[in-house]
Structure 1
Amino acid sequence: MIRKLLDWAVSNPLIVMILTTGLIIGGGYAFTHVNIEAYPDPTPPIIDVVAQFPGASAGQVERQVTIPLEVALAGMPGLDTTRSQSLFGLAQLRNQFTYATDYWQARQEVLNRLGSVTLPAGVEAGISPASPIGEVLRFTLENPKDPETGKPVYTLNDLQSVEDFIVERELRRVPGVAGVSGVGGTVKRYEIQPDPNRLRHYGIKLEQLEQALDRANANGSGDNLVQGEQTSVVRSLGQFGLGHDPQQLVLGLQDPVEAAKVLRAEEARRCLEIRQVVLATVNNVPVRVDQVVDGGPVLNADGTSRVDDATLASRGVIVGQKTRLGLAAISYPRTGADGKPLTTADGATVWQDEEDVVQGIVLLYKGEKSLPALKGVLAKIDELHASGKLLPGIKIVPYYDRTTLIDRTTVTVHENLVVGMALVTAILIMFLGNVRAAVIAAINIPLALLFAFGVLFLRGKSANLLSIGAVDFGIIVDSTVIIVESVYRGLTHDDAHGLTLAQRITKSAGAVQRSLVYATAVMVCALLPLFTMTGPEGQIFGPMADTYAFAIGGALVLSLTVSPVLCFLILRNVKPKPDNFVVRSIDWLYRVQLQGLLATRWLVAAGFLAAVVATGATAATMGREFMPELEEGGLLVRGTFPVNISFDEVVRHGTEFRRFIQSFSEIRVIPTTVGRPNDGMDTGGYYLLQANLPLRAQEEWPVDKTRGRRRTKKELIADITVGLEERFPGVPWDFSQIIRDNVLEALSGVKGENSIKIYGPDLDVLENTGMEVRDTLNMVAGVQNASVYRNQGQSNLEFYVDRQKCARWNVSAADVQSVIQSAVGGKAVTDMVEGEKTFDVTIRWPERLRADEQAILNIPIPVGNTLRADNQFAMGNTPISGASIGLTSTGNVMKLPSATGSSFNAPSLDFDVPSRRVGDLVTPLGENGLPDPKASFVRPGASTIYREQGDRLIAIKFEVRGRDLASGVAEARSKIEPMIHPPYRAEWSGEFQQMEAAERRLAGMFALSMILIALVIYLAFRSFLDAAVVLANILAMVIGGVWALKFAGLYFNISAAVGFISILGVAVMNGLLLVSTFNGMRAKGIDLRETLLEGTGKLVRPILMTALAAMLGLLPAALSTAMGSECQKPLAVVVVGGMISTILCLNLVPVLYSFYGKRTPPEGAGDFAH
């Protein structure tokens, strides 16, 4: 079949050239249009479920939200693991499916299950759009400054509203965008702050206030009315603000200050409408909300305000905000008129600080392409700026996007590609001694890559750093080199009188057809582990395996079609001539040293055996890791403060953090966040301070004065760590990168490179055990930054509702719960509709009446009692029922203040009523969980409850530095596992777990690959001895690869394993050609010694040429230190080292063959010779 293809190609050169032109055009189009990603996504389908339960403790969230969701989601098809976190007001469940599961099917299954879950009132579970590598852009909303005061024009409520209802909705229209997660800002709500004394004075219960507000805020419909020939829809309009959006009134304004004034006036008008709501009527006089709120009435008798807008909305009925879950701040270099960053006299950057901003994070769906989506997002941002949909003066300012990472890594890959191709071409010219022949061989490198890109493009796949940069051109063009070298040798050495040029070319190329078949079969078997990889390593190296397969397959087809045609067209006038000086010199040197080695073959064999033993010992003690850390061009810094720290305190520390980081000019911008996003897409409490720090390009880094050179990234991290530990003693600081951090958390459920998970039922025992494990880890050499993800430490103010006390005063437990919720946390009773926006209208007591424990204990509780009024209102025996009761600590009655106001002109009123307070109806709980009047209401509680597969756990994260991961974990495991006793158990997670799993999978597939290769070799020679010699050649290349890793100071990892797999095919092919040549010469009766010398000399050029081409093709990647070279470096080093040991192959195979070569070779065992 191969001979027929060769004959057809040489006979139809025009068709071949047309097809080649089509390949160039189509492949070129694919090359310029295929999507490029920096790194492949190593995670399986993961569907995050988020449910917010505002105000609920971690334990309450676990019991009422997390566990019901876990039960409902259990047993889904393809579900591998469910991990959950329960913390203040939030439940997050991460459902990890198997790699074989389709993402969208998994997502739909989760949605189906969520529909059957019963959760507490007001709690809804939804799917988070986040994916581990889906974060592609971060931005802030620029708040214009008032030119007179220099203060921000708009409130954080305004900015958050713009992001939630305008920016996010518009960006989600971009194909591929899953959502926008907002960090910082405040969510607006209207708050009614009742005065308990005024409520009591007017006999108004909280329930009355809630019902009145809800009923007063609605539109009604009267169906339609026919009037003559027209029909009108009958409506009654009662919504606050008529449901109009105040922001629509200012979009046409040019002055942000004027726009802000309009917004504040509209908010004040809505507060006025709320104050006008009538709660009750006494003697035909209305009692309005205005009269029962903090600060007293501010309305005239006709319902108009007698104060200005600012005063109207400052007390009693205000525009407030929901409880803040997080804060974002940013520092960026201040620029001059020329747009360049300003610096001080000593070269330091001048920074601009924004202490409270609204930040947005654009997230893509899993599997979406970054560059097209980013292009669409940036275009949409420009469109928003030009559309006038944003408030006047507000701008969307990106400060990080994935394009920077992709561009930097792509530059690294392109440089390595160009240099590698140039070196391969130079090697071909040097060995062939003919520029035309070298160009014919080298031209298949770009053609094979274009073929691979074309297939990737047609399949809709993306290229990435590994799939392009780790492909070895020398290995790709092995088939081409064999064909061209055979043809060139045939044209310059063979005496072929009577044959046409086309016949000579097909004869020379056909001479190696059988070797090509077996070499291709061996290459397929060698790459089998790559094609069958699963798990994270399969996701990472799968695209590279595809590209390898397409490129090698394309190169094989090209070598059988294009290369012979080019030889026919270009090598017409090649005259027979001897090898060039370089080849003759190498051949002479090789023959001389081979004669000496054959004379001492027993010593050579012993030396080889010693080298195998030494290499085995070195490999056994070589450090192991999962994958080298991929450089992303940034730093993710995370500080974990005590879990019960206040929000304001961490914000203050965040400001101090930014001030310190400003001293490092390597950092481009300094954004920080405290807490978590408002949508709950990331978990964390107030104790969490994070900074995603984009770095400048390394060539822009300043010279460090103390070192006299630029800092390395490791030195930068070390210097930052020292400064942080001095400024924040006792606070653990973690350093990572945003994609890496997200991926590690997605795979293990823990933010950290490695972790120990301890499973068990009791949170206290887990906490204590975790602390002990952390202390033990800190004593292990090489283990750094060990810290516990604590589940305890959050202080709770817990009021146990004493039912006996409630029964004594005819108060239900629900009454107490409702009052505490409304008075302290705030209770939403209706909605403020503003166009397409909706905000809560909430009842919440003034801060001074709920500021501390004693204030909460003094909250009044309405008592179900009936009193009779005196006759000053001429009401006779009208009962007054359910009034809020005055308070004293002893339960006595107290005199009420007189009730006077603009709308209530009755005589002063004194009620004598029983008084009860929260403190009279609740009891503290003791350590045993039972009521104990002597105990304290302040009790320790859970901060975050972690669960996995239905079991509680605590995680201790750690890093291994200065030693390999495997040995560090092995030592730690030996010390820690004896500390864990049933029913508690420990599991090692993170990179170590992934490494062990990947090594097990690769070991099995590698063994199968070797068995198949051995079978192919045996089928080729029908001799166990020949097969054993060829397989021994693999050991020769492994020796080179292992010692190359050793001398480069690298650990064995999955990237290095892929490198060893890559050189298997080359090692086997070289041995196969040598043994086949020896067998062919021996079959002709040639003496064994002459066979070894002449046969090996004949193959010195093709073997060294292919080996050097493979080595130099990846040499730039092996030496590169630029961003994006980390992952391909171990692979490249192994290939370079293995190819260097090819010189050992050229000596080893003849020496081993000499021990048995006098026997008559099996029939057909020499058909590979050419």
Structure 2
Amino acid sequence: MIRKLLDWAVANPLLVMLATIGLTIGGAYAFTHVNIEAYPDPTPPIIDVVAQYPGASAGQVERQVTIPLEVALAGMPGLDTTRSQSLFGLAQIRNQFTYETDYWVARQEVLNRLASMKLPEGVEASISPASPIGEVLRFTLENPIDPATGKPVYTLNDLQAVEDFLVERELRRVPGVAGVSGIGGSVKRYEIQPDPDRLRHYGVTLKHLEDVLEQANANGSGDNLVQGEQTNVVRSLGLFGMGHDPQQLVLGIKDPVEAAKVLRAEEAKRCLELRQVVVSTINNIPVRVDQLVDGGPMLNADGTARVDDETLVAHGVVVGSKTRLGLASISTPATSPDGKPLLNAEGKPIWEDEEDVVQGIVLLYKGEKSLPALKGVLAKIDNLHESGKLLPGVRIVPYYDRTTLIDRTTVTVHENLLVGMALVTAILLMFLGNVRAAVIAAINIPLALLFAFGVLYARGKSANLLSIGAVDFGIIVDSTVIIVESIYRRLSHGEDAHLPLNQRIANAAGSVQRSLVFATGVMVCALLPLFTMTGPEGQIFGPMADTYAFALFGALMLSILVSPVLCMLFLRNVKAKPDSRFVRTIEGFYRTQLRGLLAVRWFVLTGFVVAVFFTGLVAAHMGREFMPELEEGGLLVRGTFPVNVSFDEVVGRAKQFRKLIQTFPEIRVIPTTVGRPNDGMDTGGYYLLQANLPLRAQDEWPVDPQRGRIRTKAELIDDISHCLGENFPGIPWDFSQIIRDNVLEALSGVKGENSIKIYGPDLDTLETTGMAVRDALNNVPGVANASVYRNQGQSNLEFPVDRQKCARWNVSAADVQAVIQSAVGGKAVTEMIEGEKTFDVTIRWPERLRADEQALLNIPVPVGNSTRPDMRLAMAETPFSGASVGLSPTGTVMDLPSATGSRFNAAPLSVEVPTRRLSDLVTPRNEKDEPDEHGSFVRPGASTIYREQGERFIAIKFEVRGRDLASGVADARTKVEPLIRAPYRAEWSGEFQQMEAAEQRLAHMFCLSMILIGIMLYLAFRSFLDAGVVLANVVAMGIGGVWALKFAGLYFNISAAVGFISILGVAVMNGLLMVSAYNGLRSKGVGLKESVLEGTGKLVRPILMTALAAMLGLLPAALSTAMGSECQKPLAVVVVGGMISTILCLNLVPVLYSFYGKRTPPAGAGEMGH
């Protein structure tokens, strides 16, 4: 087959060259248009379900939301693991599927299950748009400043409405964008704050007030009315504000201050409209909302609302906001109008602080391409600015986007590629001694890569820094080197000079076809572990395996079709001549030293055994990790405060945090968040302070005065950690990167690099055990920042309903709970529709009536047996006087006010609704459900309840610094295991768990690969001895890889393992060619020593050429320290070290062969040499 392709190629050079030009053009187009990602997504399909249950405790959320959702979602096809978190007002269920499951199929299955779910009233479960690496852009909404007051023009309600109802909706129209998660700001709502004394005085209950407000806010339809030739739709309009959007009224206003005044005036109108709603009547005298709210009727003489002139907010009916779940702030360096940074007297940057901003996070669907989506998002943002849809003066200001990361890593990879190709070309030139032959061999490198890019583009796949930068050119070009070297050697030595040139070239290329096929087969078997990787490592290195496969196939076809044609075109004038002086010198030196080594072969064998022994010791004690940390150009800092800390306290600490971070000039922007997003897409409470700190480019980092040089990132982290530790004693701080943190949390369910999960039923026991484990971890050398994700510690103010007391006063438990809900959190009774926006209209007690426990205990609760004064009584009445007598709320007959309210027939307003205080209907109880002897309603409760596969667990996260991960966890295990007692159990999670699983999978596939290679070697030689000598060559190359890692100060990880896999094929081929050459000479009757010397001497050039090409192809990656080089560096170091040990291979194989080579080789055992 190969010979036929060779003959066709040399017979049709024009077609081959046209096809090559087409490949170049198509590959170049694919190279410039293929999507580039910084790092591949290592996670399987993960579908997060989020359900918000406002006001519910963690325990209530677990019982009523989380567990039902877990049960409903269990048993889905492909579901691997279900994890959940239940915390105040929020349930998150993370469904992790197997890698083989299609993401969209899994998503649809989750949607199908949710459709049949029945959850508590007001609770809806939805799918989170977040994915572990889907966060591509963060922005804030810039609030213009009023020059007169120096304060922001718009309220946080205004900006939040812009983000929720405009920015998010517009950005979701960009292909690939799953959603926008916002944190900070406040969600507007209209609050009606009733006065309980006024409600009682006018005989109005909360339930009646709720019903009236709901009924007063609606439009109606009267069908069609035909009038002659025209048909009109009959409608009644009763919506508050007529449904108009106030923000649409200000879009044409240029001055933000004037626009804000219009917005405040429109809000005041709606508040006035709410005040005028009639709740009931007393003898045809309307009782309006403003007579029932705190402060009473706030009217001027002309009937307009009396308001605070500065804030335009009235009492009793106000524009408020929902309970805030989080707050975002940002500090940015101040700049002059021309963009230059402003410095203070000490020459340090001046920072501008925005204490309360609205922040948005743009999220992509899993598998979507970052760069096209980002371009679309940025274009949409520009369009929003230009179209005038935003409020006057408001701008969307991105402070983080993935483009920076992709651009920086792409530059690093391109530099390594270009330098590597140049070095490989130089090596080929040195050994071939002919510029044209070297160029012919080297040109296949870019052509093979263009072929690989073309296939990636055609398949719609993305490239990344691993799939591009970790491919070894020496390995790719190996097939080309075999053919070109054979052709050039025969032409330069004058072989077959009597034949036509095309026939000579076809014969020269055809003579190595068996070697070529076998070499490719060996390379495929060697790379089998890479092609069959699964789990996270498979996702990371899968694109690299694809690129390798496409590039190897492309290089093979190019070497068969294109290289012979190029040789025919450009080597036609090559005349017979000896090898270059450089090659002759190397061959001569090698023959001399090999002759000496053969004389002391036992000493050489002993040295090899000793080298293997010490290398084994080094390898056994070498540190292990899963993957080197991929540099993202940023720093994620997370501080965890006590779980029952107040919101305002952490907000103050966040301000202090930003002031401290401003002293580190390497930080570009300082955004902080407290709490969690309003949409519940991320879990956490007020205790969580996070900062995603973008770093400046390293060439912009200043010299650290204390060190006299630019500090490394690790030193920067140590300095920040020390600074925070001094200023926030007792607060644990975590340091990571945003993508890495999201990925590790997605895989393990815990925020942190590594964690221990302790499973068990009782939260108190879990908490106690977790604290003990944390203390043990803090005593392990190299283990840092160990802390517990507590499931207890959130104090609850609980009011147990006393059913006997309720029965005495004819009150239901639901009535008590409804009053508490309205009093504290507020109860939404209808919606204020403003164009496309909707805001809750909520009933909530004034703040003075819910300020503390005693105020809540004094909340009035209406009791039974009351008659509302507006109820129609079955008694005689006249249109003028109304009913003369009626029933009082207590059941006694009394006079009611007349319609005119004259002092002659009007009675006092003794129509009050009978009420009791909340304290009359509740009884404090302790943990044993017995009356509390101290009368306290404060009880300890759960903060966050973690579950996995239906079991509760507590997580203790930790980091390993200054030592390798494997040894750190091994020491930690000895300390932790005695603390875990049945029925509780522990599981090590995070990066360590992934490392162990990946190493086990790789070990199995490596063994299979070696077995297949052993079978191929036996089929080639029909000798176990020959096969064993070739495999010994693998060991020799492994020695170089191990010591290279040792001297580079790197740990063994999956990237290094891929490096060992990459050199496996080269080691086998080198040994195979040498043993085959010896056997070929021995089968011709040449003596053993002469066969070894002659056979090795002929192979010095091709072996050293391929080895040095493979080594120098990745040398730039091995030496690089730029952003994007971290993941491929261990791989490159192993390859470089393994290729350096080729010198050992050139001596080891002939020495080993000399011990048994006197026997007659099996038939055909010498046909693989060329």
Structure 2 contact 217–238 (Cα < 8 Å) conserved:
yes
The whole-number CA distance in structure 1 between the counterparts of 2:905 and 2:429 is: 108
Q: 1:307 to 1:181 in 2, by over 3 A?
A: closer
Alpha-carbon distance, 1:720 to partner: 0.7
Alpha-carbon distance, 1:607 to partner: 1.4
Q: 1:16 to 1:933 in 2, by over 3 A?
A: same
Which residue does 1:785 correspond to in 2?
785
Structure 1 contact 268–310 (Cα < 8 Å) conserved:
no
The whole-number CA distance in structure 1 between the counterparts of 2:360 and 2:211 is: 37
Q: 1:1145 to 1:73 in 2, by over 3 A?
A: same
For residues 766-805 of structure 1, the aligned pairs below 5 Å read 766-805=766-805
The whole-number CA distance in structure 2 between the counterparts of 1:471 and 1:1021 is: 31
The whole-number CA distance in structure 1 between the counterparts of 2:311 and 2:885 is: 41
Which deviations, in whole Å up to 9, do the C-alpha atoms of 1:691-746 show, x marking residues without a partner? Answer: 00000000001111111111110111111111111111100000000000000000
Task: Specify the code of the residue in structure 1 equivalent to 2:84.
Answer: S
Which deviations, in whole Å up to 9, do the C-alpha atoms of 1:385-405 show, x marking residues without a partner? Answer: 111111111100011000000
Which residue does 2:521 correspond to in 1?
521
The whole-number CA distance in structure 2 between the counterparts of 1:118 and 1:422 is: 66
Structure 1 contact 758–984 (Cα < 8 Å) conserved:
yes
After superposing the two structures, state which structure 1 stretch, 930-939 or 126-135, moved more.
930-939
Which residue does 2:456 correspond to in 1?
456
Which residue does 1:447 correspond to in 2?
447
Structure 1 contact 923–933 (Cα < 8 Å) conserved:
no
The whole-number CA distance in structure 2 between the counterparts of 1:433 and 1:1032 is: 32
Which residue does 1:65 correspond to in 2?
65
Which residue does 1:843 correspond to in 2?
843
Which deviations, in whole Å up to 9, do the C-alpha atoms of 1:94-115 show, x marking residues without a partner? Answer: 0000000000000000000001
Structure 2 contact 205–913 (Cα < 8 Å) conserved:
no
Q: 1:250 to 1:485 in 2, by over 3 A?
A: same
For residues 396-795 of structure 1, the aligned pairs below 5 Å read 396-795=396-795
Which residue does 2:1156 correspond to in 1?
1156
Secondary structure, aligned partner of 2:997: helix
Q: 1:904 to 1:118 in 2, by over 3 A?
A: farther
Structure 2 contact 46–95 (Cα < 8 Å) conserved:
yes
Alpha-carbon distance, 1:903 to partner: 16
Q: 1:923 to 1:710 in 2, by over 3 A?
A: same
Which residue does 1:890 correspond to in 2?
none
After superposing the two structures, state which structure 1 stretch, 704-713 or 38-47, moved more.
704-713
Task: Specify the code of the residue in structure 1 equivalent to 2:92.
Answer: Q
Which residue does 2:163 correspond to in 1?
163
Alpha-carbon distance, 1:977 to partner: 1.5
Which residue does 1:879 correspond to in 2?
887
2:385 is the alignment partner of 1:389: no
The whole-number CA distance in structure 2 between the counterparts of 1:157 and 1:304 is: 24
**TM-score calculated relative to the size of structure 1:** 0.97
Which deviations, in whole Å up to 9, do the C-alpha atoms of 1:1037-1087 show, x marking residues without a partner? Answer: 011111111111111110011001001110000011101111111111111
Share of identical aligned residues, percent?
81
Which deviations, in whole Å up to 9, do the C-alpha atoms of 1:890-911 show, x marking residues without a partner? Answer: xxxxxxxxxx999999776467
Which residue does 1:896 correspond to in 2?
none
Which residue does 1:1167 correspond to in 2?
1167
Secondary structure, aligned partner of 2:314: coil
Q: 1:868 to 1:161 in 2, by over 3 A?
A: closer
Task: Specify the code of the residue in structure 2 equivalent to 1:601.
Answer: R
The whole-number CA distance in structure 2 between the counterparts of 1:169 and 1:1075 is: 68
The whole-number CA distance in structure 2 between the counterparts of 1:600 and 1:344 is: 74
Task: Specify the code of the residue in structure 2 equivalent to 1:354.
Answer: E
Which deviations, in whole Å up to 9, do the C-alpha atoms of 1:270-293 show, x marking residues without a partner? Answer: 001100000111122110001010
The whole-number CA distance in structure 2 between the counterparts of 1:88 and 1:903 is: 55
Which residue does 1:1070 correspond to in 2?
1070
Structure 2 contact 859–918 (Cα < 8 Å) conserved:
yes
The whole-number CA distance in structure 1 between the counterparts of 2:715 and 2:964 is: 20
Task: Specify the code of the residue in structure 2 equivalent to 1:514.
Answer: R
Task: Specify the code of the residue in structure 2 equivalent to 1:519.
Answer: A
Secondary structure, aligned partner of 1:1096: helix
The whole-number CA distance in structure 1 between the counterparts of 2:701 and 2:1097 is: 53
The whole-number CA distance in structure 1 between the counterparts of 2:251 and 2:118 is: 43
The whole-number CA distance in structure 2 between the counterparts of 1:300 and 1:630 is: 66
Which residue does 2:895 correspond to in 1?
none
**TM-score calculated relative to the size of structure 2:** 0.97
Which residue does 2:1049 correspond to in 1?
1049
Which residue does 2:1037 correspond to in 1?
1037
The whole-number CA distance in structure 2 between the counterparts of 1:866 and 1:435 is: 106
Alpha-carbon distance, 1:935 to partner: 3.7
Alpha-carbon distance, 1:817 to partner: 0.6
Task: Specify the code of the residue in structure 2 equivalent to 1:340.
Answer: K
Structure 2 contact 487–505 (Cα < 8 Å) conserved:
yes
Which residue does 1:80 correspond to in 2?
80
The whole-number CA distance in structure 2 between the counterparts of 1:476 and 1:905 is: 107
Alpha-carbon distance, 1:497 to partner: 3.2
The whole-number CA distance in structure 1 between the counterparts of 2:308 and 2:1065 is: 85
The whole-number CA distance in structure 1 between the counterparts of 2:1164 and 2:360 is: 70
The whole-number CA distance in structure 1 between the counterparts of 2:711 and 2:323 is: 42
Task: Specify the code of the residue in structure 2 equivalent to 1:400.
Answer: Y
Secondary structure, aligned partner of 2:327: strand
Which deviations, in whole Å up to 9, do the C-alpha atoms of 1:193-212 show, x marking residues without a partner? Answer: 00111111111111111011
Q: 1:206 to 1:1162 in 2, by over 3 A?
A: same
Structure 2 contact 305–314 (Cα < 8 Å) conserved:
no
The whole-number CA distance in structure 2 between the counterparts of 1:484 and 1:198 is: 99
Secondary structure, aligned partner of 2:165: helix
After superposing the two structures, state which structure 1 stretch, 795-804 or 919-928, moved more.
919-928
Which residue does 2:54 correspond to in 1?
54
Which residue does 2:897 correspond to in 1?
none
Task: Specify the code of the residue in structure 1 equivalent to 2:612.
Answer: V
Alpha-carbon distance, 1:592 to partner: 1.3
Which deviations, in whole Å up to 9, do the C-alpha atoms of 1:865-921 show, x marking residues without a partner? Answer: 35899x9x98655224499xxxxxxxxxxxxxxxx9999997764679865200111
Secondary structure, aligned partner of 1:800: coil
Alpha-carbon distance, 1:1169 to partner: 2.3
Secondary structure, aligned partner of 1:360: strand
Structure 1 contact 465–1124 (Cα < 8 Å) conserved:
yes
Which deviations, in whole Å up to 9, do the C-alpha atoms of 1:141-166 show, x marking residues without a partner? Answer: 01111121111111000000000000
The whole-number CA distance in structure 2 between the counterparts of 1:1085 and 1:122 is: 92
Q: RMSD in angstroms over aligned alpha carbons? A: 1.9
The whole-number CA distance in structure 1 between the counterparts of 2:1108 and 2:308 is: 85
The whole-number CA distance in structure 2 between the counterparts of 1:901 and 1:732 is: 69
Secondary structure, aligned partner of 2:123: coil
The whole-number CA distance in structure 2 between the counterparts of 1:173 and 1:912 is: 55
Which residue does 1:862 correspond to in 2?
862
Task: Specify the code of the residue in structure 2 equivalent to 1:1092.
Answer: V
Structure 2 contact 494–575 (Cα < 8 Å) conserved:
no
Which residue does 1:957 correspond to in 2?
957
The whole-number CA distance in structure 1 between the counterparts of 2:178 and 2:332 is: 28
Which residue does 2:806 correspond to in 1?
806
Which residue does 2:361 correspond to in 1?
361
Structure 1 contact 299–902 (Cα < 8 Å) conserved:
no
The whole-number CA distance in structure 2 between the counterparts of 1:261 and 1:1047 is: 69
Aligned residues: 1152
Structure 1 contact 271–312 (Cα < 8 Å) conserved:
no
Secondary structure, aligned partner of 1:1164: coil
Alpha-carbon distance, 1:493 to partner: 1.3
Q: 1:394 to 1:1114 in 2, by over 3 A?
A: same
The whole-number CA distance in structure 2 between the counterparts of 1:1016 and 1:10 is: 31
Secondary structure, aligned partner of 2:503: helix
Alpha-carbon distance, 1:978 to partner: 2.1
Alpha-carbon distance, 1:1165 to partner: 1.0
Structure 2: any 5+ residue segments left out of the alignment? 870-876, 892-899
The whole-number CA distance in structure 1 between the counterparts of 2:666 and 2:153 is: 32
Secondary structure, aligned partner of 1:801: coil
Which deviations, in whole Å up to 9, do the C-alpha atoms of 1:596-616 show, x marking residues without a partner? Answer: 110111111121112112212
Alpha-carbon distance, 1:586 to partner: 1.1
Alpha-carbon distance, 1:812 to partner: 1.3
The whole-number CA distance in structure 2 between the counterparts of 1:395 and 1:284 is: 53
Which residue does 1:1091 correspond to in 2?
1091
Structure 1 contact 286–903 (Cα < 8 Å) conserved:
no
Which deviations, in whole Å up to 9, do the C-alpha atoms of 1:621-662 show, x marking residues without a partner? Answer: 111111010000000000000110100110000111011111
